[in-house]
Structure 1
């Protein structure tokens, strides 16, 4: 939303300066002034185009991530009943541990996505939040679990399977 507001502001600046340049030309204003205002029009247009391209790229990335998660979920739907039960039980064990650590629902979601191997950037895209928020939530998760980072988080749930 913030990026869209910036685009709108840049476009308004661009159009107002464009019409000001046209008026200045008809009034015979010095060329240096026309040049400087034309430069503002050009920079505003470039900035707006850059942001539009960036929004499209981020939107495409988010769509790809959601599709990848959907494909992953489809794959899990096709596994055997025994594997489904094991997965369900393991998920319940993980959620129980999250409750013991007193993780909030948002922190639980971030922790689960960390366990699935998503990066902070990918988690922020999937959850439609800022990457900084995800980093802060991850830091809180690590603190509540008394662990150092994502590797220890994964190890916490995998070490019992190792002999």
Structure 2
């Protein structure tokens, strides 16, 4: 809006300067004065045209960015929906595996909290029980799953997400 106002003012200056130059020509003023007036008129006109083209270019760029933003928002909404659906499906897969292993509801809760990365002490606090109880439940989870511990539990659920085509980072530089 500010640019349009400036362009309009510059166009008005150009128009008024044109009227002034024509009047000056009728008065037969010195050639140096007329050259100066025409130079100022031409520079003002060039500035006005440039400003108008620049306003149009920025307006088009802004419209293109708005369109891209709208498309990105739609893609993000779609990805959010897909992510929510994938998270739900993954959660169902985990729960189904817990049932296949024959875990009790308490063991399922402990296993889920282990997968989330909580320590045995934190799980005990969340479940309002003793750490020894949580440790025993975790041992039963590992035994029923046929795995060795917390890391193997996490790896059991993550191994399908790691493909052989991805390079593995080296431990040495």
Q: TM-score, normalised by structure 1?
A: 0.51
1:35 is aligned to none
Per-residue Cα deviation, 1:64-102 (whole angstroms, up to 9, x for no partner): xxxxxxxxxxxxxxx922111110000000000000000
Partner of 1:39: none
CA distance in 2, matches of 1:137, 1:81: 35
Structure 1 stretches of at least 4 aligned residues deviating more than 2 Å after TM superposition: none
1:128 corresponding residue in structure 2: 128
Aligned to 1:80, what secondary structure does the other structure show?
helix
Unaligned stretches of 5+ in structure 1? 1-78
Which secondary structure does the structure 1 equivalent of 2:84 belong to?
helix
Relative CO higher for 1 or 2, CA cutoff 8 Å, sep ≥ 6?
Answer: 1
- Deviation track 1:33-74 (CA, whole Å, cap 9, x = no partner) reads xxxxxxxxxxxxxxxxxxxxxxxxxxxxxxxxxxxxxxxxxx
What's the secondary structure of 2:147's corresponding residue?
coil
Larger Rg: 2
What RMSD over aligned residues (CA atoms) do the two structures have, in Å? Answer: 1.0
Shift of 1:111: 0.2
**Residue aligning to 1:37:** none
Structure 2: gaps spanning 5 or more residues = 1-78, 164-173
- Residue matched to 1:114: 114
Other-structure match for 2:145: 145
Secondary structure, aligned partner of 1:103 = coil
